[in-house]
Amino acid sequence: MVTDNDTIALSNLNRQFLFRLPDVDHGKSEVACAAAKVANPDINLKPRTDMIYPATESIYNDKFWNERTFVVNAVDNQKARLYVDSRCSWFEKPLLESGTLGVMANSQMIIPHETQSYGDHEDPPQDAVPMCTLKSYPFMVEHCIEWARERFGVTFTKNWEEFNNFVADPDRFMTEMKKSREGEIDKVLATISGLLTLKMESSKIGGKPDAICMQYARDMYDRDYNHAMKDLTTTFPLNHEKDGQKFWQGSKRFPDAFAFNVEEEYTQLYMFCMANLLM
């Protein structure tokens, strides 16, 4: 049995070997089981979308834990690790604890009565926010801060680096894109096209670069704070369920889309700062 209540995001593709571009927006457990079946047709797996935590102990009850031979853990937060570890310790089940964070990885084999359990030691504070949480489901203030930092870096560093590389050598740029990021070509080219328009219009004699930059900032506001939210909530409405479980539960908070309102103080501040940075 494999369970994960999350769906695959584009950011999940660069640090594992089970998911591919067509799998984006599909359930992680379902796709992982299918990929494992390809590697080993004899394996018997059942995908589920439940979270394993105190609220689901009616599903993951004594009978469930007693029937396990061993457990493999690969979750993105310490609270979940500690909970599964406590269950394995109570029911005396071996646990393979594992995880990744950026370029780092860890694994720990925990054997009842033979080794320390995961809860016997304390991990150092986790400085980085898991990328899947950062991209799709930020729910704490620090998540939103990291999201803003990431967006700033993409907007004013990464996008312009790609623009400059494309202008310098379009053929080489496209060849490298097809080798390593084929699924992102349309999105990257759309961004480059927007930056090219911004640069050309702003450089025209007698033009109004402030107006061009304001329009670009408005488009970014709509994309990040309105359209992205509407796309997500259209795909997963408030009462959406997967396999009988509510999709919006636990750390997944239902987001609100922000309509552009020029009278709102923070909207004015956003437009002022963004347009000035683009000039």
Per residue in 261-274, pLDDT tens? 989 999 999 998 88
Per residue in 122-163, pLDDT tens? 665 555 566 666 667 777 887 888 888 888 888 888 888 889
Q: Is the pTM of this model over 0.75?
A: no
CATH of 134-278, one of 1.10.10.2660, 3.40.50.300, 1.20.140.10, 1.20.1440.130: 1.10.10.2660
pLDDT of residue 125: 57
Q: Do domains 2-125 and 134-278 have the same CATH topology?
A: no
Q: How would you classify residue 221: left for phi > 0, otherwise alpha for psi between -120 and 50, otherwise beta?
A: alpha
Name the CATH topology of 2-125.
Rossmann fold (3.40.50)
Per residue in 54-90, pLDDT tens? 989 999 999 999 999 999 998 878 888 999 999 999 9
Question: Residue 100 is encoded by which pair of tokens?
Answer: 């990744």
Which residues pair with residue 241 across a beta bridge?
246
86 neighbors 73 (Cβ within 8 angstroms)? no
Q: Is the pLDDT of residue 233 over 70?
A: yes
What percent of the chain is modeled with pLDDT above 90? 33
Q: Of the residues 88, 132, 144, 213, which is catalytic?
A: 132
| Rounded Cα distance, 258 and 252, in Å | 18
Q: pLDDT tier at 216 (50, 70, 90 boundaries)?
A: confident
The domain locations on the chain are 2-125, 134-278
**Signed CA dihedral, 223, 229, 103, 187: sign only:** negative
Say whether 132 is catalytic: yes
Per residue in 91-104, pLDDT tens? 999 999 998 766 67
How many other CB atoms are found less than 10 A from the CB of residue 1?
A: 15
pLDDT of residue 44: 92
